[in-house]
Structure 1
């Protein structure tokens, strides 16, 4: 692909290259900010993020509604499986366009680590919120049930709910950040790995906090039903957990460990900064 005449600009740790047709390319020496995303503009990314969050939230609303309709016969395992499959669907549809954050906490964490431009964070959060709210409204029409049953509530006390949300989101983000640093090496398996981690997190947090792990997931039914009790738990907890996960990944420099462990004995190690420079040179030439 010819990138002559492109405008090269660095945003955080991401190298942004704007082509002749206005397409946006983003590359990083440690990761691809958008998995497979090429020639994208801001509007497409934001719309894709909204659609992805809609898909995720509709699936979650649906399984919760079915559980209610069947008087609890659909259990935690089915809920966890639904969440995992929904994430797989989202990653392999909108992932190449927006990165499939579908979670404000994930977006903020990636921005804090320099893997996502802060200028895009407000647009992504609005898109995620709108997508979730639309999903709740559609779910109300399909299942004819009030959204209040989908509101997340502490089941073992506020403290336990807060810490379970924080720790589970920490685990998810720790994995996601490491996978994003090695998107080329891991390939399609990264989507399944993230989905599996979310399913596991749901199993661990469901009996304690209701397994939100996502401020948009909790905010949408709370807004539609106008029930905001304990909502802060599901905003602050996952956000702190996601920030902790991505920052610990950066601190441990897992990209160095991965490169050294998978390289051949005679292969010369290349630092992230050098790889970033080489990547940008290759794109511009």
Structure 2
């Protein structure tokens, strides 16, 4: 018998552990990103105004996903987003049988995150909760609910395109050909860029769990529009997953032919 040893993959965490990690990661994402939009983006002090604005909210979403990827990624993969779970399955990176549980866990984690934010807002200054809910609770929207007044078609297009871009970043940065250890940074910066582009259009979704979590506290009008932010990010994720898989196959063939 040869004395050479072969690398053994570490045991895969139990499915329930992965679901818990996805729920916690989505909770952190919603709590950090939506929480910044609610508490800091419109903050006013006694001097004349101090707030983080669009840039701060974009950075908050990027930083929270970066934290989540490094904290929970080793357990579940660190998706925290139904569109990402669908896209990763389409790309052949996770089995389809795991997707329904991941999606349920992500929605549950997101709703817990927004519920905690609602609880905190209810103990804020007089009128704060009413104002926060009346302004949409950082929900996604189009038409009169778009920060910049953009219509439904613009929201559909940008959600498909930017979710696909996000998925490409996730798949590419976590592939065997990528530099190890930098996936979280790449994914976090990509999400920051996406928010810088899309906040004026529809307050940026690219994540159905984030959208539903905010909309349930954003009032009936925002809840009535949430269907778009459930469907079109999912389409973008699936498109990216199905198109990235053959590209990676072509790269693998090219590498094998050179070896």
Could you say whether these structures have the same fold, taking a TM-score greater than 0.5 normalized by the shorter chain as the test? yes
CA apart distance, 1:195:
0.7
Corresponding residue number in structure 1 for 2:209: 216
In 1, the alpha carbon distance for the partners of 2:165 and 2:50 equals: 28
Contact in 1 for aligned 2:168/2:240 (Cα 8 Å): yes
In 2, the alpha carbon distance for the partners of 1:173 and 1:72 equals: 34
1:17-75 C-alpha deviation (Å, 9 max, x unpaired): xxxxxxxx9x7xxxxxxxxx734101100001100000001001211112234378321
Instruction: State yes or no: 1:153 paired with 2:141.
Output: yes
In 2, the alpha carbon distance for the partners of 1:191 and 1:39 equals: 20
1:225-269 C-alpha deviation (Å, 9 max, x unpaired): 453222121111111111122222123236716973xx9xxx953
* Helix, strand or coil at the partner of 2:92: coil
Corresponding residue number in structure 1 for 2:36: 63
* Helix, strand or coil at the partner of 1:48: helix
Contact in 2 for aligned 1:87/1:195 (Cα 8 Å): yes
Q: 2:197 aligns with which of 204, 220, 228?
A: 204
Structure holding more helix per residue? 2
Q: 2:121 aligns with which of 131, 134, 143?
A: 143
Corresponding residue number in structure 2 for 1:276: none
Contact in 2 for aligned 1:133/1:224 (Cα 8 Å): no
Contact in 2 for aligned 1:162/1:209 (Cα 8 Å): no
CA RMSD of aligned residues (A): 2.4
Q: 1:191 to 1:219 in 2, by over 3 A?
A: same
| TM-score, normalization by structure 1 | 0.74
In 1, the alpha carbon distance for the partners of 2:59 and 2:207 equals: 17
1:78-113 C-alpha deviation (Å, 9 max, x unpaired): 011111110110001000001011000110111122
Corresponding residue number in structure 2 for 1:13: none
Paired residues for 1:116-265 under 5 Å: 116-144=94-122, 145=129, 146-147=132-133, 148-154=136-142, 155=146, 156-182=150-176, 185-225=178-218, 227=220, 228-253=223-248, 256=251, 260=255
Paired residues for 1:69-108 under 5 Å: 69-70=43-44, 73-108=51-86
CA apart distance, 1:114:
1.9
1:161-194 C-alpha deviation (Å, 9 max, x unpaired): 11111111111111211222226x4111111011
Instruction: State yes or no: 1:111 paired with 2:111.
Output: no
Q: Give the unaligned 5+ runs of structure 2.
A: 1-7, 123-128
Paired positions, count: 229
Q: 1:64 to 1:258 in 2, by over 3 A?
A: farther
CA apart distance, 1:149:
2.1
Structure holding more strand per residue? 1
In 2, the alpha carbon distance for the partners of 1:252 and 1:180 equals: 15
Q: 1:50 aligns with which of 23, 28, 31?
A: 23
Contact in 1 for aligned 2:55/2:196 (Cα 8 Å): yes
Contact in 1 for aligned 2:138/2:218 (Cα 8 Å): no
Q: Give the unaligned 5+ runs of structure 1.
A: 1-24, 28-36, 270-285
